[in-house]
Chain A
């Protein structure tokens, strides 16, 4: 295959880098042409619509070609291309060579463009003869986004650029932190979430531009937004797993600016997926829904801007470059277009319905939207605070996770509580009798769990109330600290409330169904219920997933950390574990030395097996050894070990040991969440739904859910890969002590 491609490449009249750059220019021309033709089609020349459709497909093909050229350059080690030389070397395996496509700035922008194009193409194919009035503007909007990324790459971040110094013999290789299976799947998942939000945005712009603001465009937008939301959820969950499993932070989330940047559009997309139901049911919140779609897309640009501009220091930051200002202008244009069009169309965005009662699902959804947007505002301000502080106060500032953990939980718990309350309230209004009846069991369940938690929690190592250090001196610090101490109690109680609500809703649905279909068993009724009302019950399954994830997040309150330096044969204890350090062991492969510290784990007096936290020292980056976490996983907790240093003479190893309580609930909850979203977005079998997009959604969702599930379930097992050393094994030939090389402050 590679040889065949090499033969084809030899036929090119120009070099590969020149060809790649030429393709980028071709993308610009094709996108500009398609944009112009689409606008003309929308402005009274409908015959040009087909030309616009073909132009869009042509543009997408060009982008695909550009990605193929870069992928080929990686696989064939074409180090004439600076990007290839910088992010790969000859020792890298093919999967990592492909992953290197998005490992650096320029390539990840091309990858971004590719995914946007892929969704643009899928959207154009799906549209066919649907939404004929909207189509030209949908295509024009998508093309303008492609045009922006094309311009960005041609003038600022060309992945096919060559170096004046010529091609090096060997490349620098991909950063070891990125040579991880999650790197292959985590960024693409997030990018899919980010880029697919361009489609609902395009529909919003088209609806505003044409004035066709009936509910037609909302249906299309909702489906794409759910797709985008699913992949943002998966991308964020995989990001947590990557951080937990690879970065050795000891936890999955550290409120890093780039984590936050990926979380912000998730919040607004979540708000939209709820508020859109009000518009569908009651014809209300039209301006708000347009605003949320535009804001979600805008936040994807903002997130990219944060990551790429170097505006905020983050562990994820890309190389220094001048692309930040491009994103500022793009964000400005998007904001200006959205605001101008919305104001222009305000008369057509008037509400049709009215609110009958504050005790209604509509009111609960408004509350839920307030919660999501409040979280978004708080996190956005905190994330950009270091820069705000520099601009306004002329002083450098940093914001650690402690700040977020002290301030955010009340808001988060409010949203979590509303998540349980909303399904219990009826549309339009809820009578006092129905209110009491609906809330009876969930409240009872919550009270029982809360009482059990208070009385028995401490006995099992999960106290309801904990002690938290104040982050400020004085009254405010004391208040925050006291309130923080109650979060485990409230979280577990609200989670219980949510779970009972979902069980009750399923039970009510099954009962209602069985009243009408007497020949149906309970399981049959349940399956039919979910199959017939996928969106509603898929949503409830998502709620279960989120509730489970919150159990995992709360687990951090009960986690225990310890540091220990052990001689071979020495033991230490933490919680129910006794850990015995067996000794160090070294293995070598073509690209690295691997130094393992074998540790025998005894849990509750019974031998549980051996884990081997390690340091990997890559030949290309010996100054920065990679941390390989050792984990022993149970439903109750993870024993999570990192080695800091191994002394080659004494063989003493310094360990960081964490017992992370209930953390598996995060991964399990994420799987349930993905399955719920899959149920909700499963395409209808009605004829109008059978089309390219239906299949794309179904295939992509199933594949992703399966892969995601396998990854979460099986990925953790890699820590067990190391075999115990044979008796009398000679340990390493005195590697340098693994203390870190100091870097310039």
Chain B
């Protein structure tokens, strides 16, 4: 009876997962982007022309919108990036701060043109979500360890029996080496 319930549970779970993935397919925009053939985005042939550390700092924050994937105007060597650098250099000459330049860049090219999304609104999800998951996993690990531990304490003698290596899978030499190292440590203590 329990086994049948378990089978039903497994099948329902599997079906739910498949259904979720199928719905994902319909919710997903077209997969294929026009990314060209392998290696096309790697083309690099022009000049960078960065004249100071300040320029580099600003250029590094701004994405090149020429179509090269994930290139900032501090690294992209295409002709568009060259024009962008001239444009941003002019902004710097006017005395605009990095934040003002970023704001202007987003106004011109959209929020996707930043190398790191701005730290506002739903963009925070980018680091909050993984951090929450990581903390959740840490809590889970601690819970599991505590459960293992409390079971170990309460089990008493049974634990001692269970802690021997679980059969032939453990390298016999390794077990012996562990024992010898322990003896060595004990001897040195004496």
Contact = CB atoms under 8 A, between A and B. Distances in A.
Nearest to A532: B173
Contacts of A411: 134
Interface in B45-90: 45-51, 56-57, 60-61, 63, 65-70, 72, 75, 77-80
A385 B80 CA distance: 25
A248 B41 contact: no
Contacts of A381: 126, 129-130, 133
A377 B166 contact: no
B99 to A, nearest CB: 5
B32 A284 contact: no
Given A320-B35, A339-B13, A739-B47, A378 B79 contact: no
A541 to B, nearest CB: 16
For chain A, which range describes its interface: under 10, 10 to 19, 20 to 34, or 35 or more residues?
35 or more
A654 B119 contact: no
Residue with the highest number of chain A CB atoms closer than 10 Å, among B14, B67, B181: B14
Interface in A502-532: 508-509, 511-513, 515-516, 529, 532
A336 B18 contact: yes
Interface stretch (A53-61, A64-72, A426-434): A426-434
Contact of B126 (A317, A385, A512): A385
Contact of A354 (B37, B40, B149): B149
Contacts of A282: 162-163, 166
Interface stretch (A37-45, A121-129, A455-463, A466-474): A466-474
Nearest to A176: B39
B21 interface: yes
Contacts of A437: 185, 188-189
Contacts, number: 342
Given A177-B42, A280-B166, A377-B133, A426 B117 contact: no
B7 interface: yes
Contact of A317 (B48, B69, B99, B114): B69
A377 B57 contact: no
A515 B185 CA distance: 12
Interface string A654-683: 101000000000000000000000000000
B21 A354 contact: no
A644 B171 contact: no
B141 interface: yes
Contacts of A395: 110-112
Contacts of A656: 48
A283 B162 contact: yes
B182 A426 contact: yes
A532 B171 CA distance: 9
A534 B188 CA distance: 26
Contact of A654 (B47, B167, B181, B182): B47
Interface stretch (A291-299, A322-330, A717-725): A322-330
Given A335-B17, A354-B162, A403-B116, A739 B45 contact: yes
Nearest to B138: A370
Given A381-B130, A385-B126, A398-B63, A536 B24 contact: no
A352 B159 CA distance: 9
Interface string B1-41: 00000110111011101101110110111011111111111
B104 interface: no
A373 B137 contact: yes
B93 interface: no
B174 A377 contact: no
For chain B, which range describes its interface: under 10, 10 to 19, 20 to 34, or 35 or more residues?
35 or more
B184 A508 contact: yes
Interface in A321-365: 321-322, 324-325, 328-329, 331-333, 335-337, 339-341, 343-344, 346, 351-358, 363
Contacts of A513: 180
A434 B185 contact: yes
Contacts of B7: 344
Contacts of A51: none
Given A381-B130, A392-B125, A740 B145 contact: no
A358 B45 contact: no
Nearest to A357: B149
B51 A320 contact: no
Contacts of A354: 148-149, 151-152, 155, 159, 162-163
A339 B165 contact: no
Interface string A210-232: 00001110110000000000000
B80 A400 contact: no
B48 A332 contact: no
B112 A396 contact: yes
B49 A742 contact: no
B171 A533 contact: yes
Contact of A739 (B46, B57, B99, B180): B46
Contacts of B178: 426-427
Contacts of A218: 169
A391 interface: yes
25 contacts: A175-B39, A282-B162, A283-B166, A310-B34, A313-B70, A320-B34, A321-B32, A328-B28, A329-B25, A341-B10, A353-B159, A354-B151, A363-B145, A373-B137, A377-B134, A378-B130, A473-B119, A508-B184, A509-B177, A513-B180, A644-B77, A739-B45, A742-B79, A743-B80, A745-B67
Given A313-B69, A346-B6, A400-B63, 11 more contacts: A175-B37, A176-B39, A310-B35, A314-B41, A319-B35, A332-B17, A366-B145, A377-B134, A385-B126, A561-B56, A741-B79
Question: Shortest 6 CB-CB distances between A and B: which pairs?
Answer: A396-B112, A354-B152, A400-B115, A332-B21, A324-B31, A644-B47
